[in-house]
Amino acid sequence: MRSKLSILFLSGILFTGASHAEESQISLTGTVVSGACNISATNQTFAFEDLYTGKMREAGSASNWKSFSMLLTACPTGTQNVTMKISGTAAPEYPTYFANTEDAKNVMLELTDSTHSTTYSNGSTLTAAVDDSRNAFFSFAAREYSPQGGVESGAFESVVMMDFTYQ
């Protein structure tokens, strides 16, 4: 209430030179939102084991799975769900996978849930419930994958971003 009175008072001062008096009201609105959850590790780097081209000759060949998770803690009271949107550069000829941005050829990143039953690609979204301890948990697996085979040696790197919204 105090802010509203101050604004009305200033409005009256600004218009004191007018030839006639006119009443005006200024309404200010906004939204109060809760803060974000704490993310267990905001920047994670995972190194795959060396991958030999001889193992990657055939279409559908892949490295071993690398499991990882994202734990969000201390979610604000009242937050019921956390939605994650995944983004990254899709492999041009295979948009279900993420592109290798280094010089190894015919190899890309496959990202799935921990049971390998759902594959995530650029633009995928997933939701986790916030538990009674105010935590949310996402579990993943990733591997180097070659849908066409014929992998050529070189470095491998793929960057995946994860953006969170809270409900």
Check: pTM over 0.85? Answer yes or no.
no
Assign 3-class secondary structure to the chain: CHHHHHHHHHHHHHCCCCCCCCCCCCCCCCCCCCCCCEECCCCCCCCCCCCCHHHHCCCCEECCCEEEEEEEECCCCCCCEEEEEEEECEECCEEEEECCCCCCECCEEEEEECCCCCEECCCCEEEEECCCCCCEEEEEEEEEEECCCCCECCCCCCCEEEEEEEC
CATH topology (fold) of 32-166? Immunoglobulin-like (2.60.40)
pLDDT tens, residue by residue, 114-152:
999 999 999 999 999 999 999 999 999 999 999 999 999
Q: Give the tens place of pLDDT for each residue, 41-50.
A: 777 888 888 9
